[in-house]
Amino acid sequence: MKAPANVISHVRGESEFIDDIPPMQGELYVGYVGSPVAHGELLGVEATEALKVPGVRACFTASDLHHTNWGTIVQDQPLLVEKEIGHIDEPICVLAAETREALEIARRLVKFEIKQKPAILALDEAIAKKSFLHAPPPFKRGNIEAGLKNSRHRLKGVFHIGGQEHFYLESQASIAYPLDGQQVKIVSSSQHPTETQHVVAHALGLTYNQVICEVRRMGGAFGGKESQAAPFAAMAALVAHRLRKPARIVLTKDDDMKTTGKRHPFQTHYEVGFNDNGEITALKLKLYADGGAYTDLSPSILDRAMFHSDGSYYIGNVFIEGWVCKTHTHSNTAFRGFGGPQGALLIESLIEDIAQHLRQNGSPIDAAQIRLTNLYGKETRNTTHYGQLVENNLLPDLFEKALKSSSYLKRRKAIDQINRDSEGLLHGLAITGCKFGISFTTRFLNQGNALVHVHRDGTVQVSTGATDMGQGVYTKIQIATARSLGIPDDMVFVTSTSTEKNANTSPTAASSGSDINGMAAKVACDKILFRLKQVAAFAFEANTASIAEIETLDWRNAD
């Protein structure tokens, strides 16, 4: 295969990101002004001085929006603060200016009247004050209290996991164009064009068919542009719609890092019971996720952490509770793994603690052996704490193979020796397996979308619900389409994802983008091929028997 178009333009530096799009005549720059406090009541906005800056065209507040609140699961987050301030740098008003310079000067001149309130900034405080956004039903299996009581050993403690900034190379960015018929077109750096379309429509009081959102590519996303691209698109759209001018918002890295959500910090309170051979017999957990100020995707992220708290290990007696805590910080959001890492990290760390505990109590067993002992089985010990049968379990064999092929035990011995001799730096070694649930837990989202056009020169255009964030999904879609149609890869061009062509799409997320949208492209190609075969049969005057045969075929069986 020749290098796909996307690859060539990336390597040449020709790939266009949002802020590379040349400005249109009359285009305005848009920026927000954020809260200087983490928690408080907004009493007034004073923009007189800002509006005097030459080139500044408008200042909009929450009262200019048709619908202020947005949110993927619960609509509890204001696009612009109406009254209650939830976190530092939370957008309060939007400015539009003819130049970036005027915008930046004006942003510093807006004054707010705010009654400051005490803020909850740490998980400890949120837990103590029961400041919660969500609490799902717990997972229960076996008898946790008896399980703990009957284990030879028990460990109890609190495990802390910090947050993480996505640090995508391209900050949140959108351009909004006012079209006739009150339509608005958004080009955005978004993993979720459909949600951006919906949030913009709600914000402006438009119907969904009046809003188009197109995504060509993102300069990285990692979950950070799944829900949180939409509010910035809405700010640009507000300016474009009200002033009838194209409007561009491109956050600086500083603003992006201050105001957008991150990976959820977690605090997990644990009690684990185990025997002399390292077999884990009971696990009792309370997971506290720092959701920040608003719900965003936190309930699904906490779910996933609770689903992954078993790692790849069978545990007979389990009790897992979870809470999304409300703190006065940016609203935390999707981030690669989506709670899975926060769930699975604890049990892996516990296994190291168990190995250490057993070593100190006269039963030295290597952590790798403890992992092997506890792995889900193939025929028994093969249901999870959420009731799923672990099928086609390759892990026990794979684990043993990896142990051997990596010379784990030999290396372990060498490292133990180095550590015994060392007076400073210690070396470490670990081998772990992983069970990860791909696809959306909100199951209706596991659906793809594709539009395939065959042009009269035989070349093909395809667009799908999958957005390109640098993961190469357009290349996969190109290959899936070409192979489905039986044509060379370079006869297929993958065009941008747009709500005009790809409506009601799911976000590109949950390890599902290539599979579900690649399959959607294949289904579309199969239908087209089937019709083409019928046409060809007529055109080439195939005998009537074979035409009749083709007509009875089902495109779903077309190869």
Q: Which residues bind ligand QUE (CB under 6 A)?
A: 72-73, 223, 226, 297, 300, 304, 334, 338, 440-442, 445, 507, 509-510
> Considering the complex, what minimum distance in angstroms separates the CB of residue 199 from ligand QUE?
12
Residue number with CB closer to ligand QUE (228 or 268): 228
Query: If you write DSSP's letter for every residue of 317-367 in order, what string do you get?
Result: EEEEEEEEEE-SS------TTTTHHHHHHHHHHHHHHHHHHHHHTT----H
CA atoms within 13 A on the CB side of 13: 0
Structure tokens at 292: 């920040």
Gap between the Cα atoms of 33 and 347, Å rounded: 43
> Considering the complex, what minimum distance in angstroms separates the CB of residue 87 from ligand QUE?
22
Residue number with CB closer to ligand QUE (133 or 492): 133
Structure tokens at 534: 């019928």
Residue number with CB closer to ligand QUE (442 or 534): 442
Q: Across the strands, what pairs with 319?
A: 140, 284
Residue number with CB closer to ligand QUE (241 or 476): 476
Tokens 């900050």 belong to 171
Residue 56 neighbours by CB under 8 Å, 6+ apart: 50, 95, 96, 97, 98, 102, 103, 106
Residue number with CB closer to ligand QUE (300 or 481): 300
Residue number with CB closer to ligand QUE (47 or 334): 334
The three-state (H, E, C) secondary structure of 4-27, written as one string? CHHHHHHHCCCCCCHHHCCCCCCC
> Considering the complex, what minimum distance in angstroms separates the CB of residue 197 from ligand QUE?
13
Residue number with CB closer to ligand QUE (315 or 334): 334
Gap between the Cα atoms of 289 and 165, Å rounded: 16
> Considering the complex, what minimum distance in angstroms separates the CB of residue 195 from ligand QUE?
7
Residue 194 neighbours by CB under 8 Å, 6+ apart: 213, 465, 499, 503, 504, 505, 506, 507
> Considering the complex, what minimum distance in angstroms separates the CB of residue 309 from ligand QUE?
15
> Considering the complex, what minimum distance in angstroms separates the CB of residue 311 from ligand QUE?
17
Residue number with CB closer to ligand QUE (469 or 510): 510
Residue number, nearest CB to ligand QUE: 509
> Considering the complex, what minimum distance in angstroms separates the CB of residue 472 from ligand QUE?
17
Residue number with CB closer to ligand QUE (436 or 555): 436
> Considering the complex, what minimum distance in angstroms separates the CB of residue 295 from ligand QUE?
10
Residue type, 524: A
> What Å distances lie between residue 458 and 430, 453, 461, 497, 512, CA to CA?
54, 10, 10, 22, 30
> Considering the complex, what minimum distance in angstroms separates the CB of residue 395 from ligand QUE?
21
Gap between the Cα atoms of 219 and 21, Å rounded: 14
Residue number with CB closer to ligand QUE (429 or 445): 445
CA atoms within 13 A on the CB side of 450: 28
Q: Which helix (H) or strand (E) holds 436?
A: none
Residue number with CB closer to ligand QUE (219 or 246): 219
Q: Find the Cα–Cα–Cα–Cα dihedral 234, 236, 239, 242, rounded to 10°.
A: -50
Q: Helix 367-374 and helix 395-405: axis angle, to 10°?
A: 160
> Considering the complex, what minimum distance in angstroms separates the CB of residue 213 from ligand QUE?
15
CA atoms within 13 A on the CB side of 358: 22
Closest CA to 63 of 81, 41, 47: 81
Gap between the Cα atoms of 120 and 327, Å rounded: 5
> Considering the complex, what minimum distance in angstroms separates the CB of residue 519 from ligand QUE?
18
